Structures are given as C-alpha cells and as structure tokens.
Structure 1
C-alpha cells in the first residue's frame, strides 16, 4: 500500500474550514529559498518549484534504479508548501507581491537521510544536466500553530487569516511570526487545473501563549 502523508496526518494536511490549534514536530524537507513575485513567469518562485519536484521524483523513482535507498517505502509525493515573509512586516501584505521572500518546500519521507538527499542531488544533476545547488535538506520544527483550510483565491486569504487570529486570541494565544517562524501555506490544489474559486490551501501561523 502506498503511504500518503495527507491521509496519515490529516491533522496537518486536511484541516477543516474553521481554525484549530496544532503542534508540529520536527520534519525534514526539500527546500529552495528565493524572493520576488510568485506569479512572475520567469521568477525565482516558479524556478524553485521545478527544482523541488525534480529531486522529489528522483527520490520516489529510485525504486526502479540500481541504487536502492535504505528503508525505502512507496509513497505519494507530499504537497508543495511555502514559508512566506516580507521584510519589516509581521505577516504578509498581498498587495506587495514583489517584496515576498519565500522558502519553497516538499516534505521528505522519513527514510530520506542527508546521505540519501546528497545521492538524489548528484543523480538528478547527472541525468537532467541542471544545477540543483539551491536545493537544501532542511530540518524544521514548526511547533505550536493556528491553522485553517482556505478555499478560494490566494488574494482572499486575509479573510481566513482574520478568522484564525480571532480564534487564537479567544483561546489565549498570540501571533508569534518572527525571523525564524513564518506564514505557512500548503497547496492542496494544482493552480493550473483547479478553478480559482475552488483552490484549497492550508494556512498556518505560529503562535505562543498570551501572558
């Protein structure tokens, strides 16, 4: 049976359309950092996605090659994610997309060690004749967060974020976005295929107890 992180960890990937509190453990990711408008056709964001998926599928399809990764189990490649921030802002301003900084992410299966990651980078570089030096092995513990499923255009996310912030304050928490804790999005829909009004995105914000 193919392992699917979305189904096995529904509390992280399939929340409801109402805010909830969740605590995230340390997770390993493929990561690419960049900046600029994510909608720019030749921008760093779209380039980052291509790099991530090339490595993600090199690892997934390793089962068919000569190099067998220790502990390998078949799995569904987890959804694309992103950490987003803008300098000087505690949150995001959707009218200033050109000021975005981001870390694009795809979760790694638990069997992928740094050694296995290094192999995948070398393998993809040789086969695809591309530069994958921007791709990182990132271990990140997100910790305590408020999250909610957002349905609709990205530009309407502030409405969902407002609900999240109202909920967290009523529950005795405050926003804890910082240089190491980010506005987090998980993309459950393919924006190229799904109508804008039906796109599903998990929005997650770091929080801490209010005192």
Structure 2
C-alpha cells in the first residue's frame, strides 16, 4: 500500500520555507477555490473557509469508500488553506498607503492532489451537497494555477506585522535584480488562529516576480 502523501514532509520547498526571503518557481497546481471581499474577521469569510474545507474533506475521505477510486488515487493529508489578496479597484483609486480591511478582495483556496480532475471535482461537490446543504457550495470552483517565479518567506507573528516581512522580500528581490509584478500576494496558513497565539502564527508569504 502506498504511504500517505504528507505535504509537510514531501513538499517542504512549497510550504515550509525559512524565515528569510528566497526565490521559488511554482508549477501548475489544482485548487478548489472561492472568491470574496471584505475583512477576514467577518462571518462571511469564516463561512467561505468552512465551505472549502467541507469539500476538501469530502474529496479526501470519499475515495476510501468507493469500489473504484479515481485513477491515480492515493491517500493524502489535506493541504493548508491559501489566500490570494488584493484591494478593490475603488481602494486602488484612492490609495493613501493604508489598507482598510473592509476593502480587501481575495480568493481562498485549498490545493488538490493530481488525481482530482474537473469531473471528479463535480462528483465530490454533489456528494458534499447531499451530506450538508450549504449555499456557498455554488460559489466554489475548480481551477489550475501556475504562479511561476516568486519570492517567498515564512512570516512568524501576527498578520498585521506582515508588512515588515514584505519589506524584506522586496529588498531581496531588488538585490537579486527581480521586479515584483504587483501588490497582489499569496498567503499560506500553516497555523490555526483559533489554537495558536498571534505571536506564534506561521504564514508563508509569496509574490510573483520577473
């Protein structure tokens, strides 16, 4: 029997960087995702996360109960929650250097193993709907994203202190002769804020460069 695929052990370069900037080329991966806007402290944000995890765990658990699992199936640890963050067009037009969290725009996502394709995603989504009605299931999507060349680092501490890490990353990019493509960035959440104090939160920060 094939051993369970654990991203913390098998994919350290993508999920467990050091707390100093580095370059990384990220290939195409598959995700289930959902879009949103507004503060991450809102109940709407929490509900979107819950919908994502409900489907992610359906995809993880259901093949074990199937007579014929999907081709290429293997057991795996559910990947961490990720978020791609930007601000609204209105906020950009009036930007004064400060971020109003109510003006944030985001896409939340959870990566999926390679055996998950569009057809299997649709089947699992229907099963998730049967298990527990959730209106947000209709907002979920399946997509492939290739980030390409990036700068990333591990941020340890409160989310509000992330600008300090981004300053280090941008200085590193300049020193390496790289240009940040935009202020859009990715965050990968390695800690559960409900269980970890803010000073110990671990978040992978990443932005695209050329």
What corresponds to 1:38 in structure 2?
Answer: 40
Q: Provide the rounded CA distance (Å) in 2 between the counterparts of 1:32 and 1:50.
A: 11
SS at match of 1:172: coil
Structure 1 counterpart SS, 2:179: strand
Measured in 2, the distance between the counterparts of 1:152 and 1:160 equals 10
Aligned match for 1:163, one of 164, 168, 191 = 168
Moved over 3 A (4+): 88-91
Aligned match of 2:123? 119
User: Is the partner of 1:142 in helix, strand or coil?
Assistant: strand
Partner of 2:81: 80
Give the corresponding residue for 2:24. 22
Distance in 2 (CA, whole Å) between partners of 1:79 and 1:53 is: 10
Query: What is the CA-CA distance between 1:2 and the residue it aligns to?
Result: 1.2
Structure 1 gap segments, 5+ residues each: none
| Count of residue pairs the alignment pairs up | 202
- Which of residues 134, 141, 156 is equivalent to 1:130? 134
Residues in 2 aligned to 1:115 and 1:171: alpha-carbon distance in whole angstroms:
42
Query: Hey, which of these two has a bigger chunk of helix by percent?
Result: 2
After superposition, give the CA deviation of every residue in 1:81-112 in whole Å (9 maximum; x if it has no partner). Answer: 00000035499x67410001100010001110
3-state SS of 1:175 partner: coil
Q: What is the aligned partner in structure 2 of residue 206 from structure 1?
A: 208
Q: Contact 1:177–1:206 (CA<8 Å) still a contact in 2? A: yes
> Secondary structure of the equivalent of 2:60?
helix
Cα distance, 1:9 vs structure 2: 1.4
Q: Which runs of 5+ in 2 are unaligned?
A: none
Q: 2:194 aligns with which of 173, 189, 192?
A: 192
Secondary structure of the residue aligned to 1:16 is coil
Q: Is the 8 A contact 1:94 1:155 kept in 2?
A: no
Alpha-carbon separation, structure 2, partners of 1:148 and 1:168: 12
CA distance in 2: counterparts of 1:95 and 1:34, whole angstroms? 17
TM-score, normalised relative to structure 2: 0.91
Q: Which residue of 1 aligns with 2:154?
A: 149
Matched with 1:139 is 144
Q: What secondary structure is seen at the aligned counterpart in 1 of 2:17?
A: coil
Q: Distance in 1 between matches of 2:139 and 2:126?
A: 13
1:6–1:12 contact (8 Å) kept in structure 2:
no
Root-mean-square deviation (CA), in Å?
1.8
